[in-house]
Each structure stands twice: as C-alpha cells, then as structure tokens.
Amino acid sequence: MTTSTFLISQPPSSQLEARAITCLRGERELFSNLSLEVCGGECLHIRGQNGVGKTSLLRLLTGLSTPEAGEILWNGQDIKSQSEGYHRQLLFAGHRDALKEDLTALENMHMYAAIDGIRLSQEESLATLWRFGLQGREDLPVSCLSAGQKKRVLMARMLNRHAQLWILDEPFNAL
C-alpha cells in the first residue's frame, strides 16, 4: 500500500493523524506501525492491490474499527475521546452509496440535509444535482438510476454537507 498527499486548498487548522497503527484481519496482519498526517486542504491518496488493507485503514480513520495498536487523532485528540464531535465533522463514503432507493435524488438530498441539520432550498438542491449532470433525473427514484448516477447523487449530497474531513473509499468507481 502506498500513499500520496496533495495540497488542494489553503489549509485551515484541522488535522487527521495516525500514529503507529496496526491493523489485523482475523489473525493476519494487514499493516503495522503505519503513521500518516493529513492537514486541512490536503488530499491523501491511498493506493494498493486488493486485500492489502486500504478499506481497513479507512475504517480505522473513521472510527468504525479500532486499531490493534497505535492511535488516531483529530486536531490532536484521540477520536475515541471525542467520537460525537469527530463524526459531526466527518463525511465517509464507503462502498455502498447510502441512498434511499425508493426516494428520488431530490428527496434524498432533502432527507439527508434534514438529518445533518442543514437548511437546503429546492433551488440549492437542484443546482447541486445539475452540477453533477443529473438534469432530468432529479425526480426519478434512485432505484432507476445507474451506478454512476447514484455515485453523482452521493457526491452532490456530500457537497452540501460542508464536512471538514472527507474519507472516500474508491470514489471514482462507476463514474
């Protein structure tokens, strides 16, 4: 597994850090003594073959799994000690799209905005969906959309969230 870090904007004060973390799957060690640091405005790209632990690393960074050793810090504090605050600032998009299949793209935008406590007008929702090329599809049930279109609905939803930290697992699949 390899990583690359890119600066994508001027860094604010947020920082995600992993210190000497170890990850096991069953009895198999996926990686050990792995450390990384990502500051605000940076993009960390994790690459590697299937089965080397990329998704497992992302699950550790989100707090969905716990490292066998080491610690994960957000702004200098262990994510376990500030779980609720950390997760409010985190946006994680895993392998599944986390969209409600029976709702339309537009309804998904509004439902998740309400869950996140965001006031989102009809015009803002439409503009964001259209930005991702979903004109004419905003009123279709998500179950009728292609995998790529579902991914674009998810990305539109993410833009409205204004999270400080985005962790995306295979974000370009199906696009």
What is the chain's mean pLDDT, rounded? 88
Spatial separation of the C-alpha atoms in residues 141 and 153, rounded to whole Å: 11
Spatial separation of the C-alpha atoms in residues 81 and 84, rounded to whole Å: 9
Tokens of 42: 């940076």
CA angle 87, 92, 94 (to 5 degrees): 145
**Top-confidence residue, 19 or 93:** 19
According to the model, what pLDDT value does residue 13 have? Answer: 64
Which residues are within 8 A (CB) of 10 and not within 5 positions of it... i.e. 6 or more apart? 41
Lowest mean pLDDT among 44-53, 98-107, 135-144: 44-53
Residue 128 has pLDDT above 80, yes or no: yes
H helices of 1-91, in order, are 54-62, 83-89
Most confident of 51-55, 65-69, 111-115, 169-173: 65-69
pLDDT band at 115 (very low <50, low <70, confident <90, very high): confident
147-162 as b/e, with b when 16 or more CB fall inside 10 Å? eebbbbbbbbbbebee
pLDDT band at 164 (very low <50, low <70, confident <90, very high): confident
User: What is the tens place of the pLDDT at every residue in 37-74?
Assistant: 999 888 889 988 988 999 999 999 999 999 999 999 99
CB-based contact 128:160 (threshold 8 Å): yes
Counting residues of the chain whose pLDDT is more than 70, the rounded percentage is 91
Which residues are within 8 A (CB) of 128 and not within 5 positions of it... i.e. 6 or more apart? 109, 156, 159, 160
Spatial separation of the C-alpha atoms in residues 116 and 114, rounded to whole Å: 5
- Full-prediction pTM beyond 0.85? no
Q: What are phi and psi of 2, to 5 degrees?
A: -130, 160
